[in-house]
């Protein structure tokens, strides 16, 4: 009998296996309710069980911070059987969120099929302003980039331009004369520009950019940042692709810089919640983004992010990021709730 994982893979690849998103979502929720004890306990405390959840909208979302509670791993299998664990970024003193994987087939299929669904150009000549998979084995982002390289440019090597000490070296890229795809975090791009190492890329190149500005002394508006990147790397503004993803998810969302919304794959859904009431926002209302990602079979499909957004439809949203008013102010100490991704 075909396992749920196999059915999901078929569904993601060829669209067969489930009649509707709701059918798949209910199956994934039942799977996770039965196997993921911490999630089951939480869902029960909210009165949510497979018997009471009829649609994806009713699946309870866990806050990303719950992935940091290492006594309660949000995993559908014993973590000692994990093939991989992805961890959120942070220093050795920080508590890092952990996303356990028993198998990478759904994660990698989601990356590759999602790329195709989004209609993105095939990155046949990729360069990575990132540490290599060997240097960052627990980074979900680096694994995603390596998956894309393996699939689309398997003959390439030596393309990882940040070493284990965080040093940036673009000397090989400087010799490139064919159009490239430069994959980078926003932080790495900024560091590159600030240190004077940015260089004009060959005509026809484009840039994949992801992540926020955590850890930087300088806070830049995304628009100003992209203007700088466009100029520093000689890449047209509309050839900057922003990826929205996080360690706790398996599926990315994409928006070109001239688009007003990030779009997800058919196996994802989004909803925007008013945090004051916990209710779903009205059309056009700003709230907190929740994502249902059915490729997250081994953990929890429904994730509550700490980003503000406006829902555009069931699979797309306008990302507003963190509320600037959330910056600590006044003389009172308050909790810090930064979203992180490695």
Q: Where does this chain bind other proteins (CB under 8 A)?
A: 37-38, 41-42, 44-46, 62-63, 65-66, 69, 71-72, 274-278, 286-288, 304, 306, 308, 322-323, 325-335, 337
CB of 113 to other proteins, least distance (A): 31
Q: Which is nearer to other proteins, 312 or 322 (CB)?
A: 322
- Residue 69 structure tokens: 């509670």
CB atoms within 10 A of CB 245: 22
Cα–Cα distance, 205 to 274 (Å, whole number): 40
Residue 11 or 39: the one with the smaller Cβ distance to other proteins is 39
Characterise 325 by phi-psi region: left (phi > 0), alpha (psi -120 to 50), beta (else): alpha
Rg (CA), the chain: 20
Q: Provide the sign of the torsion angle of the four alpha carbons 51, 277, 64, 288, taken in this order.
A: positive
Shortest CB 236 distance to other proteins, Å? 34
d(C-alpha 83, C-alpha 188), whole Å:
28
Nearest residue (CB) to other proteins, 181 versus 306: 306
What distances in angstroms separate CA 167 from CA 66, 171, 195, 212, one per listed residue? 33, 12, 11, 20
- C-alpha to C-alpha distances, 36 to 28, 42, 78, 84, 205, nearest whole angstrom: 11, 10, 9, 17, 44
Report the phi/psi class of residue 341: left, alpha or beta, with left for phi > 0 and alpha for psi in -120 to 50: beta
- Tell me whether residue 72 or residue 256 sits nearer to other proteins (CB atom): 72
Is residue 80 within 8 A of residue 101, CB to CB? The reply is no
If the CB atoms of residues 88 and 110 are measured against other proteins, the closer one turns out to be 88
Minimum distance from residue 285 beta carbon to other proteins (Å): 10
Least distance from other proteins to the Cβ atom of residue 340, Å: 14
Three-state SS at 259: coil
Shortest CB 320 distance to other proteins, Å: 9
Question: In sequence order, what are the beta bridge partners of 287?
Answer: 309
- Nearest distance in Å: CB 192, other proteins: 25
Question: Within 13 Å of residue 163, how many CA atoms lie on the same side as its CB?
Answer: 5
Q: How many CA atoms lie within 13 A of 242 on its CB side?
A: 25
Residue among 177 and 276 whose Cβ is closer to other proteins = 276
Closest CB 327 distance from other proteins, rounded Å: 8
Of the pair 260, 337, the CB lying nearest other proteins is at 337
Q: Which is nearer to other proteins, 167 or 334 (CB)?
A: 334
């Amino acid at each position: 009998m075909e396992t749920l994982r196999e059915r999901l893979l078929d569904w993601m690849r060829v669209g067969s296996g489930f009649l509707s998103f709701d059918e798949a979502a209910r199956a994934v929720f039942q799977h996770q309710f039965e196997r993921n004890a911490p999630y089951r306990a939480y869902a029960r405390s909210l009165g949510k069980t497979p018997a009471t959840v009829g649609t994806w909208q009713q699946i309870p979302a866990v806050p990303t911070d719950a992935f940091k509670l290492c006594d309660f791993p949000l995993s559908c299998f014993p973590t000692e059987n994990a093939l991989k664990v992805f961890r959120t970024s942070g220093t050795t003193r920080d508590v890092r969120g952990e996303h356990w994987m028993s198998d990478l087939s759904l994660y990698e299929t989601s990356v590759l099929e999602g790329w195709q669904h989004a209609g993105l150009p095939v990155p046949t000549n990729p360069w990575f302003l990132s540490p290599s998979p060997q240097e960052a084995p627990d980074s979900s982002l680096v694994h995603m980039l390596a998956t894309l390289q393996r699939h689309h440019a398997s003959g390439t090597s030596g393309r990882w331009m940040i070493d284990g000490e965080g040093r940036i070296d673009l000397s090989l890229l400087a010799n490139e004369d064919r159009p490239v795809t430069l994959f980078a975090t926003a932080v790495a791009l900024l560091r590159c520009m600030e240190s004077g190492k940015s260089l004009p890329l060959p005509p026809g190149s484009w840039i994949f950019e992801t992540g926020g500005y955590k850890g930087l002394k300088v806070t830049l508006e995304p628009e100003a940042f992209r203007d700088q990147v466009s100029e520093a790397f000689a890449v047209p503004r509309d050839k900057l692709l922003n990826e929205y993803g996080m360690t706790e998810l398996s599926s990315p969302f994409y928006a070109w810089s001239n688009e007003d919304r990030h779009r997800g794959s058919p196996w994802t859904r989004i909803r925007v919640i008013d945090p004051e009431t916990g209710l779903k926002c009205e059309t056009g209302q700003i709230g907190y983004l929740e994502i249902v990602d059915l490729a997250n079979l081994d953990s929890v499909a429904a994730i509550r992010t700490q980003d503000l957004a406006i829902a555009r439809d069931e699979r797309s949203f306008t990302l507003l990021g963190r509320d600037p008013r959330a910056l600590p102010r006044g003389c009172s100490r308050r909790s810090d709730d930064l979203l992180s991704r490695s």
